[in-house]
Amino acid sequence: MQVVRPGPLTTVRGLGRRGVAHLGVPRAGALDGPALGAANRLVGNGPAAAGLETTLGGVALRALGPVLIAVTGAPAPVTVDGRTAAWGAPVAVPAGAVVAVDAATAGVRGYLAVAGGIAVPPVLGSRSADLLSGLGPAPLTAGDRLPVGTPSPYRDRADPVPLPAPPAELVLRLRLGPRADWFAPSAVDRLARDGYRVSATSNRIGLRTEGPAVDRAPEGELPSEGMVLGAVQIPPDRQPVVFLADHPTTGCYPVIGVVPAADPAAAAQAQPGTPVRFVLLRKR
């Protein structure tokens, strides 16, 4: 497939890189893993197949041979040579035709899978782009050619794949620690009680929030320590940052808590201004 219109930020995404954090390499991979997985199932790919992640503005590709595609994630109009095509279902695209995903009508990130997967060379076991370290393929530009793998000859008929709508309110569960003791109990309670909103400065590294300051108890900084997906770090501006797929592997700002792994996918679809509510998971 050849890129006709790359969109604001379209990148190749798979499941990401696992087991290389000790090398300073982030996980990367799709921010909304369930949406990419749904698109892959619709075209008969395995879960590890790479697809495309779009950001707000969509993408347009010319099929250099006949392909089967599916678009999920952020809802958006889909056309093939200007004719309306299905979103969230398999779509056959003939050779020479242009499949276009327009701007998202809700949410932020869309996913386009093609039968056979996007077959760019893997780097450290993944085809995913990594915007923090620069590993993997660069964001798409007009004229790029994307190799497509060989589709599976055995593809069951795909059933509809239910996906949640982009959140009107982003609810994130929060397990306190490992540095909750760097914050007064009143600050922890306020984090769960007061409202926040998604900041326009959010990106694939972290979901930045805007709201009441979360004040520390001790001052100073920590030695650098390991960071994980979903870590909620409180930097000097006292505004919580939820680490997403491209997060650094270490950091020295205190982590007040960690969002369980199932929750950050919704953060991938939270537009700037979306209300954010943290729900504390108390120990039993």
Provide the residue ranges of all domains of the chain, joining segments of one domain with +.
Answer: 1-164, 170-281
Beta bridge partners of 51: 13
Mean pLDDT value across residues 141-145: 98
| Whole-prediction pTM | 0.94
Give the integer Cα–Cα distance in Å for 100 and 56: 13
Question: Pick from 103, 106, 69, 49: which is nearest to 266 by CA?
Answer: 106
Pick 170-281's CATH classification: 3.40.640.10, 3.40.50.2000, 3.30.70.1400, 2.40.100.10.
Answer: 2.40.100.10
- What are 45-77's pLDDT values in tens digits? 999 999 999 999 999 999 999 999 999 999 999
Which are the contacts of 47, defined by CB distance < 8 A and separation ≥ 6?
Answer: 15, 37, 40
Question: Pick from 260, 222, 254: which is nearest to 238 by CA?
Answer: 254
Give the integer Cα–Cα distance in Å for 54 and 56: 7
Please give the single-letter amino acid code of residue 10.
T
Give the integer Cα–Cα distance in Å for 65 and 63: 5
Please give the single-letter amino acid code of residue 28.
A
Least confident range of 39-53, 121-135, 213-227, 243-257 = 213-227
Judge whether residue 284 has pLDDT over 60.
no
Q: Kindly list the strands in the beta sheet with 51-55, ordered across the sheet, starting from the edge strand earlier in the chain.
A: 11-13, 51-55, 109-114, 67-73, 91-93
